[in-house]
Amino acid sequence: MIKKALDDCYTTDDILKGLIFDKFQLFISWENKVESAVVTEIAQYPQKKVCRYFLAGGSNMNNWLEPIQETIEKFAKHNNCNSIEVAGRKGWARKLKGYEQKIYLFSKEL
């Protein structure tokens, strides 16, 4: 499920190690089987602390997106985060209610 969302920055082994060493957090939803998985990390900027979604995958998004967002928001508040960031493909903009697009991310391979 998460494997489909991986890019050239992470392998499944990187994610597993990040979860084991508490660098990343894993949120799942299920209805008779796992429907989604979201991986987050907490980032400390000089002026604020954020919870960042950086991998997500699943099926039946309409069933799980809002509930998992609520769970992650509670987790972020509990960990004194000031905001939530979502790193993802353009299509997420249509699905994320209450979020605003603040930046574009550009990348160049060297």
What is the model's pLDDT at position 67? 92
Residue 49: pLDDT band with limits 50, 70, 90: very high
Which CATH number covers residue 37?
Answer: 3.40.630.30
- Give domain status of residue 94, yes or no: no
Residue 1: pLDDT band with limits 50, 70, 90: low
Gap between the Cα atoms of 84 and 77, Å rounded: 10
Which residues span the domain enclosing 83? Answer: 3-88
- Give domain status of residue 19, yes or no: yes
Instruction: Work out the average pLDDT over 51-79.
Output: 91
DSSP letter at 86?
Answer: E
Total domains present in the chain: 1
- Give domain status of residue 13, yes or no: yes
Cβ(33)–Cβ(88) under 8 Å? no
Gap between the Cα atoms of 86 and 84, Å rounded: 7
- Give domain status of residue 11, yes or no: yes
- Give the sheet arrangement for strand 24-30, strand by strand: 24-30, 34-44, 49-58, 83-86
User: What whole-number percentage of the chain has pLDDT above 70?
Assistant: 91
Instruction: Work out the average pLDDT over 76-85.
Output: 95
